[in-house]
Structure 1
Amino acid sequence: MPRATRRTLVASFCLVSLFAVPPAGHPINEDIELPQLGEPADAVMSPREEYQIGARVTAQIHAAGYALEDPQLTDYISRLGWHIASHGSRVPDHLQFFMVRDPRINAFALPGGFMGFNAGLIMAAESENELAAVVAHELAHVTQRHIARTIQGTRAADIATWAAVLAAIIAGSASPDVVLGALSLGQAASLQRQVSFTRTHELEADRIGIGTMIAAGYDPQGMVSFFRRLEQQSRLYGSQIPDILRTHPVNTTRIAEARQRADGHTGRADEIRPLTFRIMRARARVLTVERPSQALDYFKQRIESGIDHPAEWYGAALSHHALGQFQASDEILDRLLKDTPDQLHFLLLKAENARGRRAPEEALATLDQALEQQPRYAPLRFAYAETLMDAGRPEQARQFILDGFEHVRPFTETHRILARAARASGDRAELAYQSATYAWRRGDAETAMEKLDAGLRHSDLSEDERARLRSFRKEVRETLPKYWRPDYEDEPNALRRHG
């Protein structure tokens, strides 16, 4: 199958993710076949090709500013995702979880193990059990290789149509007219065929997801309650149904099927991390509103209505911080820390307030207190390194990250911070390497190549530095299509000029 056709199918998978449902009365096959090694899907798309497609789409999402690159939210969804994945029947070789800066409810799994979760999903969930249900569902799409299986069963796909749909998804358009306009090119029928094929995958993902979340210690009723609430919202809004429910309906049939599966299992009724979940839900709201004052009004109203919960106060404190009102934020945090003096998210925000006041030594003292409790927490280590650089100590910041590298290794943020430290220290070889690694880890191999080539242009590199950059360049180049060439590679003496 042509490479371009494979890329267009990514859009279909995003579009029919969590909320696609079978038609009413659609029979359930409890003996759904699982993919086996050597099945026809492998001949259509190899795992390496799946990874390349997922990486390219993820790079576009980041380039469009659509990703919500917040270390605390990323760590939260990653920990949740890996915990659930570790209890599945198979653990993918590669998984990368990221947040999407979108207040609407959605989640999607790209080929190659790249999984995106809208901030609106966390805000809509009422418990971590509900969020775990979505993660487990999307994870099943990855483990069952639904993209490759969809391609295997696809007879036709219109490149222009799917490209337009993918562009609309990446741009996060809030207007369904953008997508509907793209589909008015006479290809609505082929779109419907694509959606119909993947409905079996949605049922499969529900079934496998429930089993996985039970094994991970979550209550499977979380999937039932989340579906039920979405269905109630769709009936409540009537003709004014939100865009996400218009394109991703949830009906009573799917709710009944999820309930039937969940009722057959015994899951824990209590939540695993109730406070952390609610803090992250509040954080997602503050980081996605158009104006921080909107979030502040929201939390004030909830507190005044009697929802006197630490997470609501945290949301108010974070809103004050976003407004630059650091003293007001600290006043709330001081009250919270009297009851829970070691709560990491409260201490991190207090340190951020000190940084906002340009008091790095005060911030470091607060972070030292937090490090005594949780030295392995990656967002805490990132904040400490950033604060050291605020204090004019980039070499110390770099060493701090490297000393705890095993704790921050999975995060792209690690390489952004190392690149910042290298820039501040004037280390051009290290800057090129870390900047390239940051781009590559975000799926952007082309930018990684540009960073490496820029580094190789410097004539004062040592042989070891040049060899390191060359070796990495070769590795990155192998992930790009053979036909890809940067402009300068077509020029004479290009290899000599660029190392």
Structure 2
Amino acid sequence: MIQVAVSSLKKPAFWAGLALSVLSSVTAQANTTLPDIGGSAFSTLTPDTEKQLGDVMMRQTKSQLPMVYDPLLDEYLNSLGNQMVAKAQDVKFPFRFYWVNDKNINAFATLGGNIVSHTGTLAVSDTESEFASVIAHEISHVTQRHIARSVEARSQNAPLTLAALLGSIILATVNPEAGMAGIMATQGAAQQSAINFTRANEQEADRIGIQLMADSGYDPYAVPEFFNKLAERSRFANAQLAFLYTHPLSQARVADSRLRAEQFQKRFVADSPDYALTKARVLARYHYGIKDAEAIFLKRLSSPGGNTKANQYGLALAYFDGKKVKEAEQIVLKLRQQEPDNLYYIDLYSDILIAKGQYDDAMTMLEQQYQLKPNNQVITLNYANAAIQGKSYRLALHLLRNLLYYRSDIFPAYEMIADTYKAMEDYPRYYEARADMYYQLAIYPKAIDDLNEALNHLAPENQLENRRLEAKKKQWQTELNRLKRL
């Protein structure tokens, strides 16, 4: 399945601070209510207000960072994260987990249960428990309301606007030291108290996170082990790791995590098969270049104990991305003989069949899988992609609309709908689909421009569609005007 690189979309810099909660293009109506923002509005954040602001912040994040919209990675991260959320205390809203394509080790949480991990965090982990320790830590920041309390504390000392808050979150991922200063500090001497507040939060998140890992079946001892790894990497690096800027790591904190882990019985916790395959996918597609990935996986396969399914899968990905389709097919066919319903292998084999022009074969395979796993995003997006390539446009639209009705935040589906209408030369719906895509990223000027293009392509007698699009444009313009006043 082709991944969508949102960072490649052109986004006017002027609108970097504008965002609003998602409006699905699948439904005619949406809740566009925003909390009253400005000055003392942040002094007390209720869970409902925090969730609304979190949605605003996440849409802003999506429009500004190189998000990874890879259905396999998305399924893995949300499965792992929500497995721990199910064991957590004080959960006040649903959680969503996202990836940023960044080789640096880092993760962060925003208001409202939105958690983002860099791909580099998974790439450097040696066990699933190590990676889970980072996610558990971020979950704990949210459930303990550390971010909400820090926002409340700052708003009591200085006016706080939505643009300033969102800008600090984005800055924290690009320049973590400056970003944390923007989020936590108020004025002058208050910066030191903000740092102390952060350290206290980190200790509490460590304590809650270690317990959460144990309750979820992961190894609590992975926390001090991962801390030691970070400390060693930072020691020999020219600059401090991004993770350590946003998550200060002292010797006392490392020692405390070790003592807390030792409260639990030491036991072996095996990695899940999906962890190994997900890590191979991250390394092959997001961490190394194509030639480097091929060399690395060949070396791993030739080393003692290295002939694993994950390394074979990683090599097959590297071969496919390097246009060595035949070599990739040989590997994935052998893997599918053992696990014909494995989503990782189905995804790659679908791409291989499409690359060979065997669209009917791809659709036949994926139709069978769709019957078993309806609305699974990996199967559905691949099925729709095969249908588009095979010119079965109505089928593709049916699949994609159903998927978005089931879950409206799957960004690749919006882009694929736009591509489908363009291939059908249905330009009013093509421009409307593009508008919905830009609206998902809070890029209002482009979204409204594309709605105008859709209106320009409508036949004059199509009055019903004209009124519908005009109403949609008016709604978006109203939201934009309100955001410009914040």
Give the TM-score taking structure 1 as reference length: 0.74
Over 3 Å counting, the alpha-carbon distance change for 1:44 and 1:478 in structure 2 is: farther
Asked if the contact 1:342/1:373 (under 8 Å) is kept, the reply is: no
What is the match of residue 437 of structure 2?
438
Asked if the contact 1:72/1:379 (under 8 Å) is kept, the reply is: yes
Matched, 1:303 2:301: yes
1:419 positional shift: 2.7
Q: How does 1:77-476 map to 2 (within 5 A)?
A: 77-93=77-93, 95-154=95-154, 155=157, 169=172, 172=174, 191-235=191-235, 237=236, 240=238, 243-244=241-242, 247=245, 250-265=249-264, 269-271=268-270, 274-289=272-287, 291-306=289-304, 307-368=306-367, 370-371=369-370, 373-405=372-404, 407-445=406-444, 447-460=446-459, 462-466=462-466, 468-470=468-470, 472-473=472-473, 476=476
**Aligned partners of 1:402, 1:84: CA distance in 2, in Å?**
30
Asked if the contact 2:316/2:329 (under 8 Å) is kept, the reply is: yes
**Aligned partners of 1:219, 1:41: CA distance in 2, in Å?**
41
Over 3 Å counting, the alpha-carbon distance change for 1:246 and 1:398 in structure 2 is: closer
> What whole-Å deviation, never above 9, does each CA across 1:132-187 have from its counterpart, x for those lacking one?
222121122223332331133334699999999766555x57xx99999x9xxxx9
- SS where residue 108 of structure 2 aligns? strand
Asked if the contact 1:415/1:438 (under 8 Å) is kept, the reply is: yes
Moved more, 190-199 or 140-149: 190-199
Asked if the contact 1:348/1:367 (under 8 Å) is kept, the reply is: no
- SS where residue 219 of structure 1 aligns? coil
1:121 positional shift: 0.7
What is the match of residue 30 of structure 1?
none
- SS where residue 482 of structure 2 aligns? coil
> What whole-Å deviation, never above 9, does each CA across 1:333-353 have from its counterpart, x for those lacking one?
122223323322112101111
Over 3 Å counting, the alpha-carbon distance change for 1:224 and 1:375 in structure 2 is: farther
User: Match of 2:297, as an amino acid?
Assistant: F
Over 3 Å counting, the alpha-carbon distance change for 1:464 and 1:209 in structure 2 is: farther
User: Match of 1:109, as an amino acid?
Assistant: A
- SS where residue 126 of structure 2 aligns? coil
1:58 positional shift: 4.3
**Aligned partners of 1:431, 1:339: CA distance in 2, in Å?**
42
- SS where residue 399 of structure 1 aligns? helix
1:228 positional shift: 3.1
Asked if the contact 1:59/1:443 (under 8 Å) is kept, the reply is: yes
Asked if the contact 2:234/2:241 (under 8 Å) is kept, the reply is: no
**Aligned partners of 1:191, 1:462: CA distance in 2, in Å?**
59
Asked if the contact 1:214/1:267 (under 8 Å) is kept, the reply is: no
**Aligned partners of 1:234, 1:483: CA distance in 2, in Å?**
40
Asked if the contact 1:58/1:443 (under 8 Å) is kept, the reply is: no
**Aligned partners of 2:479, 2:47: CA distance in 1, in Å?**
13
Moved more, 75-84 or 362-371: 362-371
Asked if the contact 1:432/1:451 (under 8 Å) is kept, the reply is: yes
Over 3 Å counting, the alpha-carbon distance change for 1:189 and 1:102 in structure 2 is: farther
**Aligned partners of 2:475, 2:213: CA distance in 1, in Å?**
36
User: Match of 1:282, as an amino acid?
Assistant: A
1:207 positional shift: 2.4
1:467 positional shift: 5.0
1:354 positional shift: 1.9
- SS where residue 205 of structure 2 aligns? helix
1:109 positional shift: 0.9
Asked if the contact 1:130/1:223 (under 8 Å) is kept, the reply is: yes
Asked if the contact 1:108/1:115 (under 8 Å) is kept, the reply is: yes
Over 3 Å counting, the alpha-carbon distance change for 1:295 and 1:451 in structure 2 is: same
RMSD after superposition: 4.0
1:365 positional shift: 3.5
**Aligned partners of 2:415, 2:171: CA distance in 1, in Å?**
28
Asked if the contact 1:133/1:210 (under 8 Å) is kept, the reply is: yes
**Aligned partners of 1:162, 1:86: CA distance in 2, in Å?**
29
**Aligned partners of 1:90, 1:465: CA distance in 2, in Å?**
46
User: Match of 1:301, as an amino acid?
Assistant: K
- SS where residue 349 of structure 1 aligns? helix
* Structure 2 unaligned regions, length at least 5: 1-16, 18-39
**Aligned partners of 2:467, 2:170: CA distance in 1, in Å?**
38
- SS where residue 153 of structure 1 aligns? helix
**Aligned partners of 1:396, 1:88: CA distance in 2, in Å?**
41
**Aligned partners of 2:401, 2:94: CA distance in 1, in Å?**
23
What is the match of residue 35 of structure 1?
none
- Higher RCO, 1 vs 2 (CA within 8 Å, ≥6 residues apart): 2
**Aligned partners of 1:418, 1:137: CA distance in 2, in Å?**
37
Matched, 1:69 2:69: yes
**Aligned partners of 1:190, 1:216: CA distance in 2, in Å?**
38
Aligned residues: 440
Asked if the contact 1:218/1:267 (under 8 Å) is kept, the reply is: no
**Aligned partners of 1:140, 1:359: CA distance in 2, in Å?**
47
1:426 positional shift: 3.8
* Structure 1 unaligned regions, length at least 5: 1-6, 8-39, 486-499
**Aligned partners of 2:45, 2:388: CA distance in 1, in Å?**
45
**Aligned partners of 1:471, 1:263: CA distance in 2, in Å?**
61
Over 3 Å counting, the alpha-carbon distance change for 1:410 and 1:429 in structure 2 is: same
**Aligned partners of 2:431, 2:401: CA distance in 1, in Å?**
17
User: Match of 1:389, as an amino acid?
Assistant: I
User: Match of 1:333, as an amino acid?
Assistant: V
Asked if the contact 1:52/1:479 (under 8 Å) is kept, the reply is: no
Identity over aligned pairs, percent: 26
